[in-house]
Chain A
Amino acid sequence: MAETDEERAKRYAELEASYPTLTAEEYTRRSRRSVLTGGAAALAGLAGWRWIQNSPEDRNIPAPLRDVHEANEALWRALHRDNHLAPTFDSSRSSMMRVNGRRGIDNEIDLASWSMSVRDEGEEIRTHTMDAVLELPKQEMTVEHKCVEGWSHIVTWGGVRFSDFLEAHHPDKLASPTEFVSLETPDRGFYVGIDWASMLHPQTLLAYELQGEALDQDHGAPLRLVTPLKYGIKQLKRIGVIEFTNTQPADFWGERGYDWYAGL
């Protein structure tokens, strides 16, 4: 049976009648106490705000915010699963991407003489040419590239899995992994640090193609890092050095106020 308007009015009246009441005197006392409590809470909030703003900076943001970045990192690293994949798209939905930064690649290089140094805690262990990459199975992947600035763009990459590269050339590292991988441009004008799990993810590529064509220098020729697990600020162009390390690597944008992890 539907409730009539009269029944509803009665129910409302009963509900309202169930609430306690105060005398004028009690009300005044209560108001005074509430205003004092509220004022104290507002001051505490303001003090907390000023404490954050006046805290010493840790890599360009107040230290408490850096601490939260690190707590967030611990949470999302714990939740990382290799089988959680970034959505992929049909390549027909992809198009050429803008060039958003030239740090570390602002001069043209001779691609023929390019090589990539692989280091372990600072010690060079190998130098690779493009052949070491091109001999591995090629992966094509159409994913959404996301920038910290908010824009995103669906692009098609071609390259090899970093995990395949390790398996082929540095299998000992698969057996005894380090916590981080550091990547640098040849001139060290740009550098990033990435956690091991993200590097080993099946969608993390050493890429040499964009939109079905060889990378141009503005997009990181001859070889760049691509991973939909990180914002673009981590996807270093023109790899010069790859280093395995257990010390958290320096990170260009991480030093400038951004989250070191920058995971997606």
Chain B
Amino acid sequence: MTSTLEPDIDGPAPPAAKMKHPRAVRWMHWINFPLLMLMIWTGYRIYWADLRDPFVLGVGDYSFFEFWPGWINENLELERRLARGMAFHFSFAWLFTLNGIAYGLYTWRSGEWRQIVPERGTLRDSLQVFLHDLGIGRSKPLPPQARYNGAQRLTYSFILVLGAIEVLTGLAIYKPTQLSLLTTLFGGYESARLIHFGITIVFLVFFVVHLLQVGRAGWANFMSMVNGYEKQKTSSEGSHHG
């Protein structure tokens, strides 16, 4: 007979892992990854078809960086193959769009949006998290968070909005006559094209930062995007980034 005075060593073990990412989100995340890579690669095939007038990052007459400097293509010996680029781009764009719509509907209907949309305090939190990640002000405790910290809420929401704009500017360039209202909304054909391209650069930057942060956050966090559950640390500390 167990005595209530003795420690209950056979009782329920503390939970080893807690649910983090719903199944639908994990599928859509991993489907999105190769689709986005394919869209970026085929998009560059289209962009590379005409490099007489490249997009340039600069102020006034001074340019910092030209997309892309000629030597990159020369050294990588990249094939241009415009027709193939267009064929892949205009095929897989539908899958990318459908995946995005499915994500939007799921996030809305399931209430998952509560975990991701920025709210009061998110901006302040994200600044603190950002400084913390740079090693500044680490003596102060991190702000409270649910699944995502302020910086993550802000970044992920921003990227999702950009994803929607990327699809819309894509349509505006794809059918500038039949969808001329949309093209006009983005300031015309050239402007829509520049926005479409600029967002792609932001996606590439996000991708690099995302990989670094996932690396920093560790294996348990990575696996939560695979199996949905995050292994709990015995003594909880720190925040998770992805």
A residues contacting B by CB (< 8 A) are 2-3, 5, 8-9, 12-13, 15-16, 19-24, 26-27, 30-31, 33-35, 38, 41, 45, 60-62, 64-66, 68-69, 72, 76, 79-81, 84-87, 144, 146-152, 228-229, 253, 256-259, 263-264
Contacts and interface: CB of A to CB of B under 8 A. Distances in A.
B16 A27 contact: yes
B53 A151 contact: yes
A61 B147 CA distance: 45
B11 to A, nearest CB: 12
Contacts of B147: 16
B30 A150 contact: no
B177 A16 contact: no
B50 A149 contact: yes
B178 A257 contact: no
A258 B86 contact: yes
Contact of B83 (A26, A72, A79, A257): A257
B229 interface: yes
The 5 A-B residue pairs whose C-beta atoms are closest, nearest first, are: A257-B83, A21-B15, A9-B144, A34-B227, A149-B50
Contact of B50 (A3, A35, A147, A263): A147
Interface string B81-115: 01110111011001000000000000000000011
A87 B17 contact: no
B175 interface: yes
B91 A68 contact: yes
Contacts, number: 143
Contacts of A149: 49-50, 82
A55 to B, nearest CB: 12
Interface string B1-29: 00000000000010111111000000000
Q: At the interface, is chain A mostly helix, strand, loop or mixed?
A: mixed
B184 A68 contact: no
13 contacts: A15-B115, A16-B18, A19-B19, A20-B18, A21-B18, A21-B229, A26-B16, A33-B227, A34-B227, A85-B180, A148-B49, A148-B82, A258-B86
A192 to B, nearest CB: 15
Nearest to A21: B15
Interface in B213-242: 223, 226-229, 231
Given A23-B15, A229-B177, A259-B86, A151 B50 contact: yes
Contacts of A229: 177
B121 A68 contact: no
Nearest to A15: B146
Contact of A264 (B15, B83, B114, B176): B176
B140 to A, nearest CB: 13
Interface of B: 13, 15-20, 30, 34, 46-47, 49-50, 52-53, 82-84, 86-88, 90-91, 94, 114-115, 120-121, 143-147, 175-178, 180, 183-184, 188-190, 193, 223, 226-229, 231
B181 to A, nearest CB: 9
Given A15-B114, A19-B19, A22-B17, A151 B52 contact: yes
A62 B88 CA distance: 10
Contacts of A66: 87
B128 to A, nearest CB: 12
Nearest to B38: A49
B121 A5 contact: yes
Given A8-B121, A30-B228, A259-B90, 19 more contacts: A5-B143, A12-B145, A21-B17, A22-B17, A23-B13, A27-B231, A34-B228, A45-B34, A62-B87, A65-B87, A66-B87, A68-B90, A80-B178, A84-B178, A85-B180, A149-B49, A149-B50, A152-B189, A258-B83
Nearest to A42: B30
A15 B19 CA distance: 11
Contacts of B49: 148-150
Contact of A30 (B13, B146, B229): B229
Contacts of B13: 23-24
Contact of A27 (B17, B46, B143, B176): B17
Max chain A Cβ within 10 angstroms of own Cβ: one of B46, B49, B115, B177: B177
A23 B229 CA distance: 11
Contacts of A23: 13, 15-16
Contacts of B20: 19
